Amino acid sequence: MFQIIHVPMRYLLAISFVLMMVKTSSSQSTSCLEILPNPNPSSPAFQEFDRFVEVLGVLQFYAEPGVSDAQLLHAASVGAELLDNNEDGLIDDDALGEQLSNVNATMPLFLAEGSPAEEAMMDNFDDTFCVHAVLYSDEIAPDSPLDWFSEACLEEILHTINGCGHTELYPSMFALWPAGASQLAQAMDLARGGQFLGIPGSYPDEAWFHYSDVTCDYECMAIEYLYWALASNMGVLNTPEICEAIAEEWELCSPELLASTDLMIYSIITNPLNKLPQQAPDGVYCPVVSVSETAIQGSPNVFPNPSHDQFMIDLNALSSRAKFIVITDTSGREIRSQKLMPNAQRVILDGDLISGLYILSIYADSLLYSTSLIVN
């Protein structure tokens, strides 16, 4: 039947974040992240988004109507895995987390190019938040988390973390400009066969990074170069099909090629002091950590974990406001809805769904709470 693995999560840094997660001994196949209503509906830049996930207290994901809950949870989970690569519930680099929080690092998920949310954000962009990349709904594939051909979450979320975080926090290592000012930039100059501020007429034969998009300046090329190196080291590009598809831009598609050819960038990204992610994310984030009962008592609790015939929802703090629940599949298609009795404390649902990943949402007049669930 259904299994929900979820409690609210925040991370406690020096600037006071709170982390709350569930401890379970079963294997995880869904994410312990919480979807909330847009916390800034009156902001001109954010007014067109309807849902929000805050990852570890430092990275915000906003979703536009039409982006499914499954896509939002998937993208946010990738972000969480990149920041907490060993998935122990703590950000791997505390200083990076503080930097991302200070600049209000944001990852917008738009329905499509030119959508209302994109237009509103771009028309009202200012320095109160940091956006270094965006994702469109057709680039988010929860069912194919490591498919380079259909999934762009790894690239765009790395751009956001690197661009809003590393490049500002550690300029001697990661600054994008001036040309050659950082170790990253120097490594890129070697990879391109010379220091080219724009796109050269042709790259030297010895180059293995030959970016050719004329709209991409030196800083843009440096952030792209860092992505290619990290992705290669994670092993996510190492298939014959992907290697062939990317060879015109990037030749080092395997960890072995990267380590043996680009010695400088390999040294940078694998240096433990730099605390960069080494493992590829799979879009499932649910660290196993202990949490007190008092820490989670305000949030809905869904159990048993797992079950094959029914599951129960303790509404807890939402009991006075919740009006109905909705279950959707990963494409956003509604599978079931149920009206709730006023002030209901517990809801029992009999299960007749096929096995797979679903999204459970609790509503009043608007969304109150949403999380992923599994049908076994």
DSSP character at residue 22:
-
Q: Does residue 289 have a pLDDT over 90?
A: no
Mean pLDDT of 103-129: 97
Residues 132, 194, single domain; the answer is no
Residues 10, 38, single domain; the answer is yes
Q: Does residue 19 have a pLDDT over 60?
A: no
Mean pLDDT of 73-86: 96
Q: What is the pLDDT of residues 171-194, one digit of tens each?
A: 999 999 999 999 999 999 999 999
- Per-residue model confidence (pLDDT) at position 16: 29
- Per-residue model confidence (pLDDT) at position 368: 79
Q: Does residue 93 have a pLDDT over 60?
A: yes
Residues 33, 139, single domain; the answer is yes
Residues 241, 285, single domain; the answer is no
Residues 186, 215, single domain; the answer is yes
What angle (nearest 5°) sits at the alpha carbon of residue 165, between those of residues 160 and 167? 100
Confidence grade of residue 88 (pLDDT, cut at 50, 70, 90): confident
Residues 248, 335, single domain; the answer is no
Q: How far apart are CA 94 and CA 339, in angstroms?
A: 43
Mean pLDDT of 82-111: 95
Which ranges of 57-197 would DSSP assign to H, the alpha helix?
69-83, 94-102, 116-123, 153-161, 167-169, 171-174, 183-191
Residues 119, 259, single domain; the answer is no
Q: Does residue 68 have a pLDDT over 50?
A: yes
User: Per the structure block, which two tokens stand in for 154?
Assistant: 């790894």
Q: Confirm if 314 and 351 have CB atoms less than 8 A apart.
A: no
Distance of CA 276 to the CA centre of its chain: 15
Residues in contact with 52: Cβ distance below 8 Å, sequence separation at least 6, in sequence order: 35, 36, 37, 38, 39, 60, 61, 62, 63
Residues 130, 31, single domain; the answer is yes
- Per-residue model confidence (pLDDT) at position 123: 97
Q: Does residue 109 have a pLDDT over 70?
A: yes
Confidence grade of residue 30 (pLDDT, cut at 50, 70, 90): low
Residues 222, 251, single domain; the answer is yes
Residues 271, 286, single domain; the answer is no
Query: 163 lies in a domain?
Result: no
Query: 216 lies in a domain?
Result: yes
Total domains present in the chain? 2
- Per-residue model confidence (pLDDT) at position 359: 79
Q: Does residue 1 have a pLDDT over 60?
A: no
Query: 158 lies in a domain?
Result: no
Higher per-residue pLDDT: 274 or 15: 274
Mean pLDDT of 248-264: 97
Q: Does residue 12 have a pLDDT over 70?
A: no
Q: What is the pLDDT of residues 218-239, one digit of tens each?
A: 999 999 999 999 999 999 999 9
Q: What is the pLDDT of residues 306-360, one digit of tens each?
A: 666 677 788 887 888 888 888 887 667 888 888 998 888 888 877 677 887 777 7
Higher per-residue pLDDT: 118 or 6: 118
Residues 220, 107, single domain; the answer is no
Provide the residue range defining the domain that includes 258.
Answer: 170-278
Instruction: Please provide the average confidence, as pLDDT, over all residues in the chain.
Output: 85
Q: Does residue 299 have a pLDDT over 80?
A: no
Mean pLDDT of 185-212: 95
- Per-residue model confidence (pLDDT) at position 17: 30
Last residue of a domain, one of 258, 278, 298: 278
Last residue of a domain, one of 234, 249, 278: 278
Quick one: which H or E segment has residue 311? strand 310-314
Last residue of a domain, one of 278, 294, 324: 278
Q: What is the pLDDT of residues 143-175, one digit of tens each?
A: 888 899 999 999 999 999 999 999 999 999 999
Q: Does residue 87 have a pLDDT over 50?
A: yes
Q: How far apart are CA 14 and CA 98, in angstroms?
A: 8
Q: Does residue 295 have a pLDDT over 60?
A: no
Quick one: which H or E segment has residue 258? helix 255-261
State the CATH number of the domain containing residue 304: 2.60.40.3080
Mean pLDDT of 19-44: 66
Mean pLDDT of 253-266: 97
Mean pLDDT of 86-93: 91
Mean pLDDT of 202-225: 95
Residues 194, 215, single domain; the answer is yes
Mean pLDDT of 128-147: 94
Mean pLDDT of 38-57: 96
